[in-house]
A and B are shown apart, each in its own frame.
Chain A
Amino acid sequence: AQRVTQPEKLLSVFKGAPVELKCNYSYSGSPELFWYVQYSRQRLQLLLRHISRESIKGFTADLNKGETSFHLKKPFAQEEDSAMYYCALASGGSYIPTFGRGTSLIVHP
């Protein structure tokens, strides 16, 4: 069975500080991994996916198969980054994603 773990329910940092939102997954095959973000009063939206290998809004995430992790990182957090972040795993024939419970990021001025 596939599983996604986001160990932190809440992450609080100051503006300009580095931020890392942790995501660990459990799956024996080749995963498709995503980060979704939900800003206050907005709908859940895709932030980035691992196969794109791109940086969105300054965020990057690298798939580490050895550690089965897909941590989301940003070197300098901004207040507008405050949001709920969900890590998701899609794999297998059905491609039904499994979501982590989410991490609430608060960036203080």
Chain B
Amino acid sequence: GAGVSQSPSNKVTEKGKDVELRCDPISGHTALYWYRQSLGQGLEFLIYFQGNSAPDKSGLPSDRFSAERTGGSVSTLTIQRTQQEDSAVYLCASSQGPGQPQHFGDGTRLSIL
């Protein structure tokens, strides 16, 4: 079956614009994670969804960042009023449950001009 799918693969936008990133997890995976990967900084956790529970938003860097997961499947990460420091690769991962190995998407490379 298909793996985790993310879109768009690349996004270039002007500072101050809003962007929306999409993640389609593997069917049946209850856990979904968003990470930010910056050069030399490793993976920075952003937000975690598990089933129908309230998401863990503890990693979101500011209130400009938000995420939703509709119907326990597709998730969107929204960044409002983008800043240049938001430029990074945004990765989505899903797993069969908490503590299980994660399956990653190809990421969205976001560039803020």
Could you say which interface size class chain B belongs to? 20 to 34
Taking a contact as CB atoms under 8 Å apart, the answer to whether A99 and B43 are in contact is yes
Taking a contact as CB atoms under 8 Å apart, the answer to whether A98 and B45 are in contact is yes
**What residues of chain A have their CB less than 8 Å away from a CB belonging to chain B?**
9, 32, 34, 36, 43-46, 49, 86, 90-91, 94-102
Known: A86-B42, A86-B43, A99-B42. A46 touches B106 (CB 8 A): no
Which residues of B in the span 55-113 have a Cβ within 8 Å of any Cβ on A?
56, 58-59, 91, 93, 98-99, 101-107
Known: A32-B99, A45-B104. A94 touches B42 (CB 8 A): no
Q: A58 CA to B41 CA in the complex, in Å? A: 28
Q: A101 CA to B43 CA in the complex, in Å? A: 7
Taking a contact as CB atoms under 8 Å apart, the answer to whether B102 and A95 are in contact is no
Known: A43-B106, A43-B107. A100 touches B101 (CB 8 A): no
Cβ of B40 within 8 Å of any chain A Cβ, yes or no, is: yes
Taking a contact as CB atoms under 8 Å apart, the answer to whether B33 and A101 are in contact is no
Across the interface, which residues of B come within 8 angstroms of A101, CB to CB?
Answer: 40-42
Q: A9 CA to B41 CA in the complex, in Å? A: 10
Q: A9 CA to B42 CA in the complex, in Å? A: 10
Taking a contact as CB atoms under 8 Å apart, the answer to whether B101 and A49 are in contact is yes
Q: A2 CA to B15 CA in the complex, in Å? A: 34
In addition to A49-B101, A97-B33, 13 A-B residue pairs with Cβ atoms within 8 Å of each other are A43-B105, A44-B104, A45-B104, A86-B42, A86-B43, A90-B99, A94-B48, A94-B56, A97-B45, A97-B102, A100-B42, A101-B42, A102-B42
Q: Closest CB-CB distance, A106 to chain B, in whole Å?
A: 16
